[in-house]
A and B are shown apart, each in its own frame.
Chain A
């Protein structure tokens, strides 16, 4: 079991560009959540996907969007990148239902220049 895998591991983009990050959940997991972790801070919840729909969303602008595919993998899209979007983006997968342990991927380090 490869666990949660994310791609790419590192990415450099220019301000104003768009980026797509990808996540494959742990085998048997059907729920994917995305988090943004700025340097020196705790992860901040962006949104969660289940059954190909956004189920819950954190306090992030509409520039942040996502998608979940039938195989439960997920994408995070960020449009009109700002310098402040530079962060580690973490994907976490879990099974649906309360108090399900979340497993994190290694993250994608996004740098906006």
Chain B
């Protein structure tokens, strides 16, 4: 069935260093891979997404890579800052007008000053 595995569950990095979060998915029909950031007590917010016809996408300090053959996708945050501390969720969505979002289990990212 549909499943998204996310690693690691917790990640602590020094401010200014890079953080990498990795996900794997099982549904070959998935075509859309969003990443959400959820701060404590707040709603999940889309920070970047990638579609299946693209291998990499970058937005300032955030980048996402996708390997459809291996069914892997990753989030890369460079030059981390204290405000990057949050829980990050990878997700996948199929190509359908009735698509549902399947979330990973989340990564709690902490930035050490």
Interface size on B, residues (CB 8 A): 26
- The residues of B with any CB-CB pair to A shorter than 8 Å are 6, 31-32, 34, 42-46, 49, 51, 89, 91, 93, 95-106
- Bound-complex Cα distance A92 to B91 (A): 14
Given contacts A42-B104, A55-B98, contact A99 B44 (CB under 8 A): no
Residues of chain A touching chain B, judged by Cβ–Cβ distance below 8 Å, are: 4, 33, 35, 40-45, 48, 50, 55-56, 58, 90, 92, 96-99, 101-102, 104-107
Contact in complex: A97, B97 (CB < 8 Å): yes
Contact A99 B106 (CB under 8 A): no
CA distance A37 to B100 in the complex (A): 15
Query: CA A40 – CA B40 in complex, angstroms?
Result: 11
Task: Give Cα A50 to B96, complex, Å.
Answer: 13
A–B complex contacts, Cβ < 8 Å, 16 sampled: A33-B100, A42-B6, A42-B103, A45-B101, A48-B98, A56-B98, A90-B43, A90-B44, A98-B96, A99-B93, A99-B95, A101-B46, A101-B49, A104-B45, A106-B42, A107-B43
* Residue contact B32 to A99, C-beta cutoff 8 Å: yes
Task: Determine the distance from Cα of A47 to Cα of B22 in the docked complex, in whole angstroms.
Answer: 27
Closest 10 pairs (CB-CB, A-B): A42-B103, A104-B43, A45-B100, A56-B98, A55-B98, A99-B32, A98-B95, A106-B43, A104-B44, A43-B103
Chain A: interface secondary structure? loop
A58, B102: Cα distance in complex, Å? 10
A44/B103 in contact, CB under 8 A: yes
From A41, A96, A99, give the contact of B31 (CB < 8 A): A99
Which residues of B sit under 8 angstroms from A58, Cβ to Cβ? 100
Task: For the A-B complex with A55-B98, A101-B46, A106-B43 known, give 16 more contacts whose Cβ atoms are closer than 8 Å.
Answer: A33-B100, A35-B101, A42-B6, A42-B89, A42-B105, A43-B101, A43-B103, A45-B100, A45-B101, A50-B98, A98-B96, A98-B99, A99-B32, A99-B51, A102-B101, A106-B42
By a CB distance below 8 angstroms, the chain B residues around A105 are: 43
A43 to B92, CA, bound (A): 12
